[in-house]
C-alpha cells in the first residue's frame, strides 16, 4: 500500500488516503428527486413569496427480490434507514420511503439487481438503471 511522505518532524507518514470523497454517480447520470410543483393561487394571481405555492409529496417504493438476493449486505450499509439484512437476505424496512439518494445507491450497488426503487405515484423505475 502506498505510504504518505514523512511528517515535518521526521516521523513516517501513515497509509495514503483517497484525496477526496468518492463519486456517488457515474458522470452524466441524473438522479431523480422529489418533485416540487409551482402553481399560482388562482387565475391571474401571482405566486406567493419564494415562488412555491404547493409541493407534491413524493414517495418511493422499495422492493427486494429475496430469491435473487445473495446477502452481501452492501445495500444495508448504503441505506440502513431503508434496508436491513434479515435471515441472511436483504429486506425493505417499509414498503415506501421518502426520497433518499442512499436507497438509489443501494439499488445501483446490488450485484444481483435484487433491489428496485420506483416512484410510488407513477410506478416509474428510478433504480437500478436499465
Domain boundaries, the chain: 60-123
CATH architecture of 60-123: 2-Layer Sandwich (3.30)
Give the sign of the dihedral formed by CA 71, CA 75, CA 77, CA 82.
negative
CA-to-CA separations, 130 to 32, 56, 98, in angstroms, rounded: 14, 26, 22
Distance in angstroms (rounded) separating the CA atoms of residues 91 and 63: 8
For 78-93, write each residue's pLDDT tens digit.
Answer: 999 999 999 999 999 9
Distance in angstroms (rounded) separating the CA atoms of residues 46 and 75: 45
pLDDT given for residue 41 in this prediction: 44
For 66-121, write each residue's pLDDT tens digit.
Answer: 999 999 999 999 999 999 999 999 999 999 999 999 999 999 999 999 999 999 99
Distance in angstroms (rounded) separating the CA atoms of residues 99 and 17: 31
Amino acid at each position: 500500500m502506498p505510504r504518505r511522505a514523512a511528517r515535518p518532524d521526521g516521523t513516517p507518514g501513515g497509509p495514503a488516503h483517497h484525496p477526496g470523497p468518492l463519486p456517488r454517480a457515474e458522470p452524466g447520470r441524473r438522479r431523480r428527486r422529489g418533485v416540487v410543483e409551482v402553481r399560482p393561487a388562482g387565475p391571474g394571481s401571482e405566486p406567493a413569496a419564494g415562488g412555491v405555492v404547493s409541493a407534491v409529496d413524493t414517495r418511493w417504493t422499495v422492493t427486494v427480490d429475496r430469491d435473487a438476493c445473495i446477502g452481501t449486505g452492501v445495500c444495508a450499509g448504503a441505506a440502513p434507514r431503508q434496508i436491513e439484512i434479515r435471515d441472511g437476505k436483504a429486506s425493505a424496512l417499509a414498503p415506501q420511503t421518502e426520497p433518499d439518494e442512499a436507497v438509489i445507491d443501494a439499488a445501483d450497488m446490488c450485484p444481483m439487481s435484487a433491489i428496485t426503487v420506483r416512484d410510488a405515484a407513477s410506478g416509474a423505475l428510478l433504480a437500478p438503471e436499465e
